[in-house]
Structure 1
Amino acid sequence: MIGTASRIRPALRTAVILAVGLAIAGCTAIYRNHGYVPTEEDLAKVTVGVDTRDTVAEAVGVPSVSGVLNDSGYYYVSSRLRHYGALQPKVVERQLVAISFSQSGVVQNIERFGLEDGRVIALNRRVTESSVNDKTLLRQLLGNIGNLGPGSVVSE
């Protein structure tokens, strides 16, 4: 009996240490990077007032997003997210480089923004309400029988 108990205690201690180690390892932060932002050296190759859309794409790279209205600019966006255990991922760093162009397609301005420069925009989803209120097609058709008048059938 004494020999069995002395063998169980080290095994139990090892199992507890292993469980605690796995629990701690499961709570470490995992980082994911998304997108691309050109470095300062790459942006130094772009000259305001001289370079065009094509030369910017060659020097810096193709943007991840471009301006929707009149191709007003190139936007390079990079985000770093932190996953911590079972919690929802959180954006810990975001950079945006905006290169705006004039009407003739020449570089007008280069700006760099960070997460601290941004502002939260609440999205408003506009959904068209349906006039169907859980009624079957047959119930809707039969429900309209009494609503028809002779003026709606005969036109002058």
Structure 2
Amino acid sequence: MARNLWLVLAIGALAACQPIYRSHGYVPSDSDLAMLVVGQDTRDTVGDFIGRPSSAGVLEDGGWYYVGSRWRELGLRKPQEISREVVAISFNEGGVVQNIERFGLEDGRVVTLSRRVTDSNIKGVTFLGQLLGSIGNVNAGQFLN
């Protein structure tokens, strides 16, 4: 009986050491983004093809931002964000797609993974940098005081 109890406890301890992965947010795939035509599609057609985002630019005419992250939890350790991607779609004054960009986060720096641009003036990067840099960086201690 005691041997069986130790066996169950050992198996339980090993199972507790396995990482748990969670995904948050939504980022459209490259095949979904390939359906969009820069300079031709509008906000409405983007919403129809890939859905409306959970984040948009500060201004009404700002871009749309699709944010997705993946977290790993291991035992009693603090959850660790292992990847983050942002797809930024910006529109011109007429509501037509101007830029489609995919960004990632590597070693704390924003990295451009892909870009389809019609104009050399990249808008919204500052907001995007703030968005990538702030997700998951909340100090719980500041709320306890």
Output the TM-score relative to the length of structure 2: 0.71
Query: Residue deviations 1:42-101, cap 9 Å, x none?
Result: 101110011111111111111111111243101001111111111111111111100011
Give the CA RMSD over aligned residues.
Answer: 1.8
User: Aligned runs of 1:60-75 on 2, under 5 Å?
Assistant: 60-75=50-65
Out of 104, 112, 118, which is 2:102 matched to? 112
How big is the shift at 1:120? 3.9
CA contact (8 A) 2:83 2:105 kept: yes
* Aligned residue number for residue 84 of structure 1: 74
Q: Which has the larger radius of gyration?
A: 1
C-alpha separation in 2, matches of 1:79 and 1:63: 14
Unmatched tracts of structure 2, length 5 or more: 111-131, 139-145
Out of 91, 99, 108, which is 2:89 matched to? 99
Output the TM-score relative to the length of structure 1: 0.66
Unmatched tracts of structure 1, length 5 or more: 1-10, 124-156
Give the paired residue count: 113
CA contact (8 A) 2:61 2:93 kept: no
C-alpha separation in 2, matches of 1:120 and 1:60: 25
What percentage of aligned pairs have identical amino acids?
A: 50
Out of 17, 27, 32, which is 2:7 matched to? 17
* Aligned residue number for residue 151 of structure 1: none
Higher relative helix content? 1
Higher relative strand content? 2
Report the 3-state secondary structure (helix = DSSP H, G, I; strand = E; otherwise coil) of the residue aligned with 1:82: strand
Divergent runs of 4+, >6 A = none
C-alpha separation in 1, matches of 2:105 and 2:9: 38
* Aligned residue number for residue 45 of structure 1: 35
C-alpha separation in 1, matches of 2:32 and 2:77: 36
Report the 3-state secondary structure (helix = DSSP H, G, I; strand = E; otherwise coil) of the residue aligned with 2:58: coil
